């Protein structure tokens, strides 16, 4: 039996840190375990320009406790007014690592996102030219498309046409939730993760849509893209644990206060920063793939983003007794519930 596992320090390739009091409360939860994270730009107002990204990075670094080290990798929020030259300058200066595409109305704070994809063509062409990755929230928002089909339809109607029209554009399909998305990555991305990769969250490896709806509605399991049928969860598990370099960890840890989750119109998001690494150790062990956890959490992401792997390590230890994880973290805005996998966890970060 494996009772401890030391891996290269992991990175989180999709993270929501918010701002102000919430930023100060949640940042240590990520910085404790992760070396870097791709920081989502869906603030209010969104992080659209290079200047806004620089200011947000400064606020993140000032919120970081002195005894922690952590590198925020900044992103720009793509709008129909985004200036290709501003994007190129932010990339050239090393400020931004990716640009984020939200279809308008797809999720939390996505109102400034894209409706007419032709309008962002010049930005996408510039990004292909300079090698700057596009991170996609892959869901269509057409009201006639069922919410459980929105990812699969996005691939056909939006993603594939964009990729065909923009050779060389590097794309990360974020927080994939379907076998369709995993299959698309495998059949269209080169094996070494050249121009197409996908992130997978911790929670989508653990819950299917029954978790949200059976035995009473469970708002803490509601996120976007919404969890799908069990067959899709199993497909995500297979992709994550397979050692395929095109798949890597992006937690999409998304803090909302309990007041905003437990509401007649609750916010989407699962907060997993606190226990993600322990949960992943459980998942990978359950699938007999503990030796592939390091690739998924620490190696495939840097390879895609053409960054060095972290030089420090993280050790996970197996425990006899189930590990106690706080039910929520305290923030000045109110408690934020930590994702509950629904089963005991016997792994902890040393």
Residues involved in catalysis: 252
- Residue 1: CB minimum distance to Zn ion, A: 36
d(CA 93, CA 95): 5
Please identify, among the stretches 18-26, 159-167, 190-198, 247-255, the one whose residues bind Zn ion according to the rule CB under 5 A. 247-255
**By CB under 5 A, residue 86 contacts Zn ion:** no
Is residue 139 at the binding interface for Zn ion, with CB under 5 A as the rule? no
224 binds ligand DOR (CB under 6 A): yes
Determine the size of the site formed for ligand DOR (CB under 6 A). Answer: 11
Q: Contact with Zn ion (CB under 5 A): which of 86, 139, 244, 252?
A: 252
Distance separating alpha carbons of residues 69 and 61, to the nearest angstrom: 9
Min separation Cβ 41 and Zn ion, Å: 10
The option from ligand DOR, Zn ion, none interacting with 314 (CB < 5 to 8 A, set by class) reads none
Binding flag, residue 151, Zn ion (CB under 5 A): no
- Binds ligand DOR by CB under 6 A, chosen from 8, 42, 112, 299: 42
Structure tokens at 271: 């907060």
76, 100 contact by CB (below 8 A): yes
Q: Are 318 and 2 in contact (CB under 8 A)?
A: yes
Q: Considering only CA atoms, which of 204, 228, 262 is closest in space to residue 146?
A: 228
Binding residues for Zn ion, rule CB under 5 A, total 1
Q: Strands (DSSP E) along the chain, which ranges? A: 4-8, 12-15, 36-39, 71-77, 96-101, 134-136, 171-173, 196-200, 247-249, 313-318, 328-329, 336-337, 347-349
82/87 Cα distance (integer angstroms): 8
Binding mask 82-121 for ligand DOR (x = CB under 6 A): -------------------------xx-------------
Task: Single out the segment in contact with Zn ion by CB under 5 A; choices: 75-83, 232-240, 252-260, 295-303.
Answer: 252-260
Backbone angles phi, psi at 323, to 5 degrees: -80, 135
Q: Identify which of residues 252 and 294 has a Cβ nearer to Zn ion in the complex.
A: 252
Distances 102 to 28, 117, 206 between C-alpha atoms, Å = 27, 11, 25
- The binding site for ligand DOR (CB under 6 A) comprises 16, 42, 107-108, 137, 223-224, 252, 254, 268-269
């Amino acid at each position: 039996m494996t009772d401890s596992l030391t891996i290269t320090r992991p990175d989180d390739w999709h993270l929501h840190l918010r701002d102000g009091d919430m930023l100060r409360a949640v940042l240590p939860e990520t910085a404790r375990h992760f070396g870097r994270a791709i920081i989502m730009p869906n603030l209010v107002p969104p992080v659209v320009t290079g200047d806004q990204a620089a200011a947000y990075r400064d606020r993140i670094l000032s919120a970081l406790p002195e005894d922690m080290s952590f590198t925020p990798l900044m992103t720009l929020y793509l709008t129909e007014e985004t200036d290709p030259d501003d994007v190129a300058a932010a990339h050239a200066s090393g400020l931004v690592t990716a640009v984020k595409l939200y279809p308008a109305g797809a999720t939390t704070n996505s109102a400034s996102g894209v409706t007419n994809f032709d309008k962002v063509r010049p930005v996408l062409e510039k990004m292909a030219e300079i090698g700057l990755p596009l991170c996609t929230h892959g869901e269509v928002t057409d009201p006639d498309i069922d919410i459980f089909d929105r990812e699969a339809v996005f691939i056909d109607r939006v993603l594939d046409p964009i990729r065909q029209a923009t050779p060389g554009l590097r794309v990360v399909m974020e927080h994939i939730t379907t076998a369709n998305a995993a299959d698309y990555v495998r059949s269209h991305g080169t094996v070494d993760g050249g121009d197409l990769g996908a992130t997978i969250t911790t929670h989508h490896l653990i819950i299917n849509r029954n978790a949200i709806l059976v035995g009473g509605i469970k708002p803490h399991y509601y996120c976007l893209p919404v969890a799908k049928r069990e067959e899709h969860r199993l497909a995500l598990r297979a992709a994550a644990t397979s050692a395929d370099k095109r798949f890597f960890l992006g937690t999409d840890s998304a803090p909302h206060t309990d007041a905003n989750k437990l509401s007649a119109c609750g916010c989407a998001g699962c907060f997993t920063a606190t226990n993600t690494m322990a949960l992943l150790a459980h998942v990978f062990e359950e699938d007999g793939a503990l030796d592939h956890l390091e690739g998924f959490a620490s190696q495939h992401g840097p390879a895609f983003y053409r960054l060095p792997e972290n030089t420090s390590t993280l050790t996970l230890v197996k425990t006899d007794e189930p590990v106690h994880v706080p039910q929520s973290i305290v923030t000045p805005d109110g408690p934020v519930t930590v994702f509950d996998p629904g089963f005991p966890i016997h792994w902890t970060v040393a």
